[in-house]
Each structure stands twice: as structure tokens, then as C-alpha cells.
């Protein structure tokens, strides 16, 4: 940004409360931030930090029961106190929002072109166009977001890929020509390659239109690469703010350092990923003192007694740490240790017995000209105690392969054995073989909430898994307490239900339920992709610990190569159902396949040149 930039948004003392149980609970407390014309700011933090609530309040889109106070001037309008009539002029025209899941923005019963027509109809110049001109304008808007196939305008949202749907959602958001775009986790549900494409698209359009953007994300690497400045939130309060390149190199708050340390490095495997100890404080525990004090190793008694707001600590930097001047050298030294942590070699025993053997396996859906090939001539081996990663974009066949190994899908052709059982026989398998197969292989899904019964307590869920293990003839059934201990949860969690747990806790329970059956192979399908970086580090450490302690084998399905580096001994790279490269985790250092190189280039880097945009923006 130039020094003559014009202020578009100025937020001061934003406080968001919720009336519940006869009392007012403060969820976001005293947030200050600003945004200039043409600038991108990022708001990062873990789930529950208040990121989305804060930006939704700017459009008066808070759920019922929530209240927002303070001041938020957007193009001269205090959007916190403006009337609904005034806000109708602000929403869309001044500010528009891109959501994480475009399905929530798009009507499944409306074609893509109709979505854009509905938005464009609000513009007088569009209403003045002829019918052919309107159709051409819809196609022009789609072309702006990289959709050059005119037939897409006639399709329904469910007929598009996730990345394509997000492009349509962006086109609909931009159709109002807003001055401000609020992007709420716009790439979280996308694979790395598609994520990079969407981010480059957003930044390119922003540059062309000279718009401003607020990007909400829990991925620090994305924030540092895409944003000019970054605000770090924790438990409803701002912890730190500053230019992204400075903040990425020199964190000035222990929480920011903790987030940076939790990011898995792409260039080496660590013995253990650093984690932020403790848990997010309850709303009642946030009233006095620093909200991060209970989890901070530099905290002193005063930190729990004095509430510190974001305060300047130099040119365009701010921190809410009471001891920022005292511990600055400690933070720098710890950050240096994190950046250059020692590498641990991958664990691999090539003499161990083979437990999974696939040779020329293919999987097709449908028949004849309409058949879709999900897997084509795939060969793969998993040995006892080995960790194997399946890597690729969405649609590469990773999940299909995993589902075949657990019996949720059937192999179309080829040879496939799991623990010596020929799984290509499908329904013809003897019942004893089916039981032996399914007792040895368990599956952990991406979304643990959808795989846990919301009506059952955690103890009931784990006990049921234990009874199932007994039915399979297992004499080593673990108690509920033993399972909870194995996944790092206290015994008290047995009485809770899934809705009372955080995302990371639910994933631990899902892993525990799988382990309760004493499997010899655990298939983990994107188990950390929806988790905050600090929770992700905890789950990755947990899986590595379990593997060391039990000798269980892992099949880890993911699109995140930085995660692969931390868990896998052997890597298989899938592209459009075919294995294009395989080898030890060291292939990430020197890949031979162009596709693997593309996946590596798509892994977010903290430097701005990852998106190749700032040199073109002429930022000064």
C-alpha cells in the first residue's frame, strides 16, 4: 500500500455478546482493526477465536441472540448501528461475502447462469440490456473467474467440482461490484492445487478492481502469502497485528509463536511437532487477565490479573502481551529453534510381513460409454507397522482406494489381498474371512462428527466398539478408560456427547473407537484437514505415538504434503486414479513426476511470492 492510501474500514472496540441462561456472555471483546482501499488483511486464529463472528457483525449477519457494540465505519457508515434499510445498500454494493462452502451460497435447484442473473438484476445497467447482451454479461462474469466453458452456465451446482463451485460463488459475489470482499475460509475445503488457484484468482481480481479484502483463515501460511497485514485472534480478543512478512519472521506474542511452531515443516520430519499446551478457555474464564495466560510458558501472576489490549510496539506492529519487551529475545530464540529443528528419519522395516498387496487394481463406476474410472492399474504394498501415504488432488482416487481396502467399495479388476484374504471376491467371501478382514482394518473419516452418534455418550460409543471387538473373537478388549488414555483424553470425557467436544477431541474419539477393535491397519482419510493447526499437530503426534506403542500400520490419505512428511514412511502419488510416483518420503525432496512437483509447488509458503502477486501489485 502507498502512504496516501484511503481508509475504507475502521473498527474500534467491537464487542459481541450473547444472551443465554439469563446472563450476557462476551464472546468478542474490544476488537480494533482497520483496512485501506486496495489492501488485504488476514484474521487468523483457532476455531472459537471469534474471527467469523467479528466480520459477520460488519454486515449485521450475526445469529439471533447476538449483539454487537462499538464502532465500525465502512465507507462512512457505522454498520453496527445502521438501519436495515441502510444495510441493504451496504450488503452487496459496499461489501460482499465469500463463504467456505459454496453450497451454502448456491441454490441447488438453480442453474449457474440463473444465480448470476439474480444478482445482476439489481444493477440498472444490466436491466437496460437486451436478452442476448444479458446472456453475454453472464458469460463475461464467469470468464472473469476462469470459467471459459459456456456450458457451465447451464449446469446445476451439484454437477460441478468443489473448485468450480467456489469459482461460481466468487462470480456471484463479485457481480455486485463491491468495494470490500470478505472471504471466510474460502479454500479450507479444497485440495492444495485448487486452493492455490482460487487464491491466485481472488488476488488477481482484487488487483484488477482495486478492491479491499478481509481473509479469514486458520492457515497462517495462506494468510502470510495472501495478505498485506495479519491480525491474530484468540478466545475473542486480538493478540497481535502487523505486516505479514514481519509477523511471519518475528512473532511478538507467545500465541502467535505457538501457531507458527505447530505448522508441520515440508522440508523435514520432526520427532514431535510442537503443540500449544492446554485448552481454549471457557467464556466465563475470559473476564480478567490475558486469555492465553493459562497456556503460556512466559506467564507471570500479573498476566492473569491485568487485561491487556492490542497496543503499538513499533512501526505498524501491535501486541497484547504484557511482557512483550521482556521476553522478546526469548521469543526470537524459540522461533529460531522451531525454524531449524532437527530432522528425524522415517521409520521403515522393509523386512516386515506384507499385510496389503494390490496388483493392477482398477475400479469403475457404471458401464459402457458412461463408465467412470476411479482407479486404474494401481499396485501398492503395505507392510506390518508401516505408514503409507496416499497423496493427490480431489478426484485422484485416494478415498476410493481406502474404501476398497475396508470393504465399502469393491474392486472391479486386478488382484487385492488384505491380511492374506482375497478381497476381490466381495460378497462371495466366507463369513469367517469377512470377520477376520474387518476386525483387522478400521477407518477414521475426515469428519468425526458425522461418524459419531450424537445421542450416545463417548463412553457408550467406545463400549459398543469394545463389544464389537469381542464379537470378532478378540480377547484383548480395551476398557473405555484405557481407550481414552490411549488417545490422550481424561476419563471424564466418557460422560460427554460429541456436541460437547471440540473438533480435535472428536477426532481423538473417532481414532479411539477404531483402536478399541485392536486393528492391525488404520486407514485415516484426511483426518486433520478440517482441524486448526495446533490441534492438527496434536493429532499427528498422537498417531505417531500410537504407531510406536502398538506397531499398527497406517494408510494416511491426504492432499497435504507437509503432513505426509510428518507421518509417512512410503508415499504413493495418485493422479486421475493412477500411481504416477512412489518411494520413501524423501521423494518430496527430489520428485521425478511433474504432477508431484505441481503438488509440492501448491503447498502454501509464508512468503508472498508463493502466489506470485506482490511484485505485480507494486506494493510499497
Task: Give the model confidence (pLDDT) of 169-196 as tens digits.
Answer: 999 999 989 999 999 988 877 888 888 8
Closest CA to 504 of 472, 536, 474: 536
Q: What whole-number distance in Å separates Cα of residue 16 and Cα of residue 137?
A: 40
Tell me the residue ranges of DSSP E strands in 425-520.
Answer: 441-444
Cβ atoms of residues 434 and 423 within 8 Å: no
What rounded mean pLDDT belongs to the chain? 88
Could you tell me whether strands 441-444 and 180-184 are parallel, antiparallel, or unpaired per DSSP bridges?
unpaired
Q: What whole-number distance in Å separates Cα of residue 376 and Cα of residue 578?
A: 5
* Residues 226-260: tens digit of each pLDDT: 999 999 999 999 999 999 999 999 999 999 999 99
* Residues 485-534: tens digit of each pLDDT: 888 888 999 999 988 887 788 888 989 988 888 899 999 998 888 788 88
* Residues 564-588: tens digit of each pLDDT: 999 999 999 999 999 999 998 888 8
Cβ atoms of residues 128 and 212 within 8 Å: no
Q: What whole-number distance in Å separates Cα of residue 31 and Cα of residue 33?
A: 7
Q: Kindly state the helix (H) or strand (E) to which residue 23 belongs, with its residue range.
A: strand 23-36
Q: What whole-number distance in Å separates Cα of residue 559 and Cα of residue 582?
A: 15
Q: What whole-number distance in Å separates Cα of residue 185 and Cα of residue 217?
A: 5
Q: What whole-number distance in Å separates Cα of residue 338 and Cα of residue 533?
A: 15
* Residues 108-162: tens digit of each pLDDT: 889 999 999 998 988 888 889 999 999 999 999 999 999 999 999 999 998 888 8
Domains of the chain: 354-603 (3.40.50.300)
Distance of CA 195 to the CA centre of its chain: 11
Amino acid at each position: 500500500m502507498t502512504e496516501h492510501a484511503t481508509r475504507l474500514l475502521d473498527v474500534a472496540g467491537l464487542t459481541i455478546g450473547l444472551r443465554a441462561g439469563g446472563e450476557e456472555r462476551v464472546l468478542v471483546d474490544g476488537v480494533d482493526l482497520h483496512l485501506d482501499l486496495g489492501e488485504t488483511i488476514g484474521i487468523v486464529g483457532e476455531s472459537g477465536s471469534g474471527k467469523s463472528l467479528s466480520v459477520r457483525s460488519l454486515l449485521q449477519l450475526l445469529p439471533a441472540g447476538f449483539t454487537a457494540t462499538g464502532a465500525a465505519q465502512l465507507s462512512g457508515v457505522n454498520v453496527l448501528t445502521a438501519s436495515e434499510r441502510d444495510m441493504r445498500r451496504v450488503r452487496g454494493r459496499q461489501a460482499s461475502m465469500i463463504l467456505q462452502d459454496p453450497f451454502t451460497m448456491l441454490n441447488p435447484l438453480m442453474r449457474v447462469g440463473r444465480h448470476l442473473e439474480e444478482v445482476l438484476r439489481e444493477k440498472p445497467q444490466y436491466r437496460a440490456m437486451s436478452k442476448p447482451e444479458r446472456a453475454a454479461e453472464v458469460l463475461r462474469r464467469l470468464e472473469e473467474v476462469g470459467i471459459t466453458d459456456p456450458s457451465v452456465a447451464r449446469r446445476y451446482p451439484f454437477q460441478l467440482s468443489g473448485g468450480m463451485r467456489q469459482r461460481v460463488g466468487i462470480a456471484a459475489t463479485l457481480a455486485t461490484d463491491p468495494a470490500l470482499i470478505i472471504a471466510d475460509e474460502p479454500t479450507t475445503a479444497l485440495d492444495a492445487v485448487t486452493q492455490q488457484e482460487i487464491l491466485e484468482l481472488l488476488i488477481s481480481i482484487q488487483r484488477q478492481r482495486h478492491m479491499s479484502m478481509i481473509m479469514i483463515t486458520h492457515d497462517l501460511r495462506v494468510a502470510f502469502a495472501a495478505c498485506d497485514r495479519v491480525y491474530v485472534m484468540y478466545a475473542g480478543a486480538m493478540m497481535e497485528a502487523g505486516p505479514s512478512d514481519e509477523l511471519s519472521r518475528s512473532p511478538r506474542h507467545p500465541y502467535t509463536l505457538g501457531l507458527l511452531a505447530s505448522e508441520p515443516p515440508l522440508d523435514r520430519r520432526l520427532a514431535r511437532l510442537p503443540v500449544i499446551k492446554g485448552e481454549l478457555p471457557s467464556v466465563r474464564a475470559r473476564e480478567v487477565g490475558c486469555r492465553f495466560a493459562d497456556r503460556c510458558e512466559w506467564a507471570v501472576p500479573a498476566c492473569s490479573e491485568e487485561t491487556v489490549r492490542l497496543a503499538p510496539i513499533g512501526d505498524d506492529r501491535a501486541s497484547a502481551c504484557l511482557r512483550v519487551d521482556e521476553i522478546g529475545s526469548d521469543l526470537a530464540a524459540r522461533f529460531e529453534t522451531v525454524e531449524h529443528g532437527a530432522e528425524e528419519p522415517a521409520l521403515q522395516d522393509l523386512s516386515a510381513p506384507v499385510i496389503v498387496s494390490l496388483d493392477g487394481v482398477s475400479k469403475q463406476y457404471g458401464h459402457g460409454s458412461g463408465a467412470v474410472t476411479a482407479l486404474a492399474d494401481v499396485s501398492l504394498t503395505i507392510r506390518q507397522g508401516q505408514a503409507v501415504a496416499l497423496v493427490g488432488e480431489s478426484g485422484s482416487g485416494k478415498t476410493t482406494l481406502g474404501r476398497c481396502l475396508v470393504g465399502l467399495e469393491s474392486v472391479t479388476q486386478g488382484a487385492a489381498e488384505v491380511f492374506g484374504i482375497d478381497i476381490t471376491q466381495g460378497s462371495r467371501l466366507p463369513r469367517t474371512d469377512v470377520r477376520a478382514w474387518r476386525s483387522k482394518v478400521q477407518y477414521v473419516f475426515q469428519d468425526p462428527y458425522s461418524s459419531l452418534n450424537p445421542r450416545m455418550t463417548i463412553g457408550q460409543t467406545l463400549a459398543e466398539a469394545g463389544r464389537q471387538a469381542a464379537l470378532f473373537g478378540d480377547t484383548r478388549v480395551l476398557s473405555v478408560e484405557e481407550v481414552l488414555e490411549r488417545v490422550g483424553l481424561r476419563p471424564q470425557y466418557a460422560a460427554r456427547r460429541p456436541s460437547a467436544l471440540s473438533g480435535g477431541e472428536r477426532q481423538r474419539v473417532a481414532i479411539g473407537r477404531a483402536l478399541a477393535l485392536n486393528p492391525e491397519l488404520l486407514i485415516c482419510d484426511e483426518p486433520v484437514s478440517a482441524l486448526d493447526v495446533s490441534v492438527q499437530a496434536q493429532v499427528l503426534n498422537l498417531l505417531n505415538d500410537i504407531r510406536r506403542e502398538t506397531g499398527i500400520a497406517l494408510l494416511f490419505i491426504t492432499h497435504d504434503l507437509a503432513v505426509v512428511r510428518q507421518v509417512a514412511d512410503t508415499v504413493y502419488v495418485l493422479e486421475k486414479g493412477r500411481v504416477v510416483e512412489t518411494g520413501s518420503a524423501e521423494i518430496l525432496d527430489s520428485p521425478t513426476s511433474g504432477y508431484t512437483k505441481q503438488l509440492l509447488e501448491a503447498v502454501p509458503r509464508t512468503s508472498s511470492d508463493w502466489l506470485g502477486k506482490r511484485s505485480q501489485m507494486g506494493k510499497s
